[in-house]
Amino acid sequence: MSDNTIPYKIYLNEEEMPKAWYNLRADMKNKPAPLLNPGTGQPLSAEELSPIFCEELVKQELDETTPFIDIPEEIRSFYKMYRPSPLVRAYCLEEKLGTPARIYYKFEGNNTSGSHKLNSAIAQAYYAKKQGLKGVTTETGAGQWGTALSMACSYFDLDCKVYMVKVSYEQKPFRREVMRTYGASVVPSPSDTTEIGKKILAEFPGTTGSLGCAISEAVEVATKNPGYRYVLGSVLNQVLLHQSVIGLETKTALDKYDIHPDVIIGCAGGGSNLGGLIAPFMGEKLRGEADYRIIAVEPASCPSFTRGTFAYDFCDTGMICPLAKMYTLGSSFIPSANHAGGLRFHGMSSTLSQLYHDGYMEAVSVEQTSVFEAATQFARTEGILPAPESSHAIRVAIDEALKCKETGEEKTIVFGLTGTGYFDLVAYQKYNDGEMSDYIPTDEDIAASIAKLPKVNA
């Protein structure tokens, strides 16, 4: 099909939208390692997970064999409010770069949460409602997940308690207000509303909090209050399952116009976007039906794939959550204070970690000044102000397109544009003022936190 017949933005019809999520694990020969009980070191059963997560989500978490899981009608209805998301040809960026490459991006930012997080939030809220729960608890750092969950809970009339890392709570009051507008209660973490929070406050009175601490508080509240469960926006298998809607739409749109991508690029923090975007493509690769270069992009300041270890580790710094086998920098690793935006989780989805370990994908790390340079170039040419997280993928998409310029190759590059940067303008300001810096952890930094990995690895 000639380029002239392909629209700028490919929107699917409602009938073309996915009716089932794709469960990548079903096609993996080496399955991701199971979650372990931190006390016993044994794989967690559905019974053990049920006090923390909703029943249906526990099933999805543990299901390694069902390739397609139907998306309930209620969730599909909600998806229709902001999906399908467009697959956009970056004509203007290509022209500016002078590259023969064709660049496409799947834009997930056209909803009020400003990111792809809503795809899983609405699913998790739906199953909580279906189970007859009163509400859910969660943590949020940069705030995208908390916002998405607030929207989802508002839709299903569920109570939503968000533990927001204190420094973000104070520095990102607007994120907090969006959540409140959607009816969520937002508590700065650590707080005196939990035992763990009180303990941490007593031990470190001046602490500004961390994601791991907020997770611990949210889990405590969910398990202690009847009618509540804990929900998480990344890392877990269930989240990657829900996020497969991104990749499925992308693949349908590409197939519709006979476009074969050569390179697929996604930013990677815990892996929710990357896992969702690449799912159907990786599936083809696993089944030997097609080949693609798949590139995970992570911040140089939090390089779990490129400099971490493949081992069992805690998902939280409070060390009360299940152990997951993943590429990790150690649960006590905290990215440098100058790191802007998300992608600051110490570990990575077990599924993606296994795939990376088995050689099915590449990973690169990039420094944030070069990320904001790419973000600004993208904003000026393509019109969208990207989130810092998404801009990691932009950086590498531009780099790959520039390589094509050198070699003359007309490669097709697809990347995930996960969200918008409206709540990240403090970071943009730093970049605009020339005050943004980079920090790459030393080998000693990483070795110190790796040394604290749980004994189960021994």
Min. distance of Cβ 421 from a copy of itself in angstroms? 9
Residues whose CB is less than 8 angstroms from the CB of residue 135 and which lie 6 or more positions away in sequence, other chains included: 128, 153, 158, 159, 160, 161, 227, 228
The yes or no reply on residue 452 touching a copy of itself (CB under 8 A) is no
Does residue number 382 form part of the binding site for a copy of itself (CB under 8 A)?
yes
- Residue 284 to residue 105: CA distance in whole angstroms: 20
Residues 6 or more apart whose Cβ sits within 8 Å of residue 272: 116, 117, 120, 233, 234, 235, 239, 240, 243, 349
Q: What residue type is assigned to position 383 of the chain? A: G
Binding segment toward a copy of itself, per CB under 8 A, in 76-84, 97-105, 206-214, 329-337: 76-84
Q: Is 171 in the site for a copy of itself (CB under 8 A)?
A: no
Cα separation, 99 vs 76, in Å, equals: 38
Based on the shown chain and the rule CB under 8 A, indicate whether residue 95 belongs to the binding site for a copy of itself.
no
CA–CA separation, 260 and 252 (whole Å):
11
Element (H, E) at 314: strand 309-314
User: Does the protein bind a copy of itself through residue 11 (CB under 8 A)?
Assistant: yes
Name which of 25 and 129 has its Cβ closer to a copy of itself.
129
Give, as ranges, the residues between 404 and 433 that touch a copy of itself (CB under 8 A).
420, 422-423, 425-426, 428-429, 432
For position 374 contacting a copy of itself by CB under 8 A, the verdict is: no
The token pair at 288 is: 């030997």
Q: Which is nearer to a copy of itself, 95 or 410 (CB)?
A: 95
Among 46, 174, 202, 452, binds a copy of itself (CB under 8 A): 174
206 binds a copy of itself (CB under 8 A): no
- Is 314 a residue that touches a copy of itself (CB under 8 A)? no
The residue (of 18 and 322) whose beta carbon lies closer to a copy of itself is 18
Which range of residues in 4-12, 28-36, 64-72, 296-304 is near a copy of itself by CB under 8 A?
Answer: 4-12
3 scored as a contact of a copy of itself (CB under 8 A) = no
Contacts of 353 (CB under 8 A, 6+ apart): 32, 305, 310, 325, 326, 327
Q: Is 112 in the site for a copy of itself (CB under 8 A)?
A: yes
Could you tell me the end-to-end alpha-carbon distance of the chain, in angstroms, rounded to an integer?
55
Distance CA 428, CA 113 (A): 19
* Residue 31 binding a copy of itself, by CB under 8 A: no
Which are the contacts of 346, defined by CB distance < 8 A and separation ≥ 6?
212, 302, 304, 308, 313, 328, 329, 330, 331, 332, 333, 334, 449
Please tell me whether residue 40 binds a copy of itself under the rule CB under 8 A: no
Contact between 436 and a copy of itself per CB under 8 A: no
Binding test (CB under 8 A) with a copy of itself, winner from 126, 155, 230, 345: 155
| 213, two tokens | 């601490």
The secondary structure of residue 264, as a DSSP letter, is: E
- Are 327 and 348 within 8 A, CB to CB? yes
Q: Does 92 bind a copy of itself (CB under 8 A)?
A: yes
Least Å distance between CB 454 and a copy of itself?
A: 41
Residue 180 C-beta: closest distance to a copy of itself, Å = 5
* Closest to a copy of itself by CB, 106 or 325: 106
Residue 190 CA: distances (Å) to CA of 168, 342, 453: 12, 19, 23
What part of residues 229-258 is at the interface with a copy of itself (CB under 8 A)?
Answer: none
CB of 382 to a copy of itself, least distance (A): 7
CA torsion angle for 416, 245, 286, 28 (degrees, to 10)?
120
Rule CB under 8 A: which residues touch a copy of itself? 7-9, 11, 13-14, 80-82, 92, 110-112, 114, 151, 154-155, 173-174, 177-178, 180-183, 376, 379-385, 420, 422-423, 425-426, 428-429, 432
